Amino acid sequence: MDERRKPKPQSRGAKVRPLTQDQTMTINSHENFGWSSFVRQPLFQDPQAVLVSPDRSVVVLVDEAGELVTEHDVKLRD
């Protein structure tokens, strides 16, 4: 009997774009200095890699080339 209450595994289809190698290298190097990272998915937009400084005073985006983008509209919740 098939259990319907169990969640179905989500497949990582074409909608989810993995990080580029340049983004991964940039994120890893900043995480070594205490920065945290996450990937945000704005509605109807491509995913964005985000880095946050240890004191949460600086938030930057990491573009596909691994470059830091300081001018953006990302705001952190308290």
Using left for φ > 0, alpha for ψ between -120 and 50, and beta otherwise, residue 33 falls in alpha
pTM of the predicted model over 0.85: no
Q: Point out which residues pair with 51 in neighbouring strands.
A: 37, 60
Indicate if the pLDDT at residue 3 is higher than 70: no
Q: What is the pLDDT of residues 7-51, one digit of tens each?
A: 555 544 444 568 999 999 999 999 999 999 999 988 998 889 999
Indicate if the pLDDT at residue 72 is higher than 50: yes
The reported pLDDT for the residue numbered 27 is: 96
The reported pLDDT for the residue numbered 16 is: 52
The reported pLDDT for the residue numbered 54 is: 96
